[in-house]
Amino acid sequence: QVQLVESGGGLVQAGGSLRLSCAASGRTFSSYAMGWFRQAPGKEREFVAAITAAGGSTYYADSAKGRFTVSRDNVKNTGFLQMNGLKPEDTAIYFCAAALRLNGLDRAGLYDYWGQGTQVTVSS
């Protein structure tokens, strides 16, 4: 079992930045790929970014490319999502998730564990 706790969300003006953290406990975090997803009111959960277990590969949704950076520190059992150039359309609850797999990291249904989410609100 892996427990995930997100933090770092908040209210920011358009153009601003936030850094989300995902603290993991339980089984070996370094064995799991980590993904970030978001869900806005009335919309389905969507993929944002993912990073493989050892951190060698990263993947981004088109909406995140060039603005967001996913990373991880396997010593501290923590993942990160650095978000720059935030836009009002980035407003959502952001979730981190862990998957014991190598591919399909943009598919929410393939993740094994989820955090409770952290709210990100971007004002115009």
**Can you tell me the distance from the alpha carbon of 38 to that of 70, in angstroms, rounded to the nearest whole number?**
14
What is the predicted pLDDT for the residue at 35?
98
CB atoms under 10 Å from CB of 56, counted, come to: 7
Q: Please say whether the beta carbons of 54 and 34 come within 8 A.
A: no
What is the predicted pLDDT for the residue at 102?
79
Reading the chain (124 residues) residue by residue, the pLDDT tens digits are 899 999 999 999 999 999 999 999 976 889 999 999 999 999 999 999 999 999 999 999 999 999 999 999 999 999 999 999 999 999 999 999 999 987 889 999 999 999 999 999 999 9
In one-letter notation, the amino acid at residue 32 is Y
Q: Which residues pair with 118 in a beta bridge?
A: 94
What is the predicted pLDDT for the residue at 101?
83
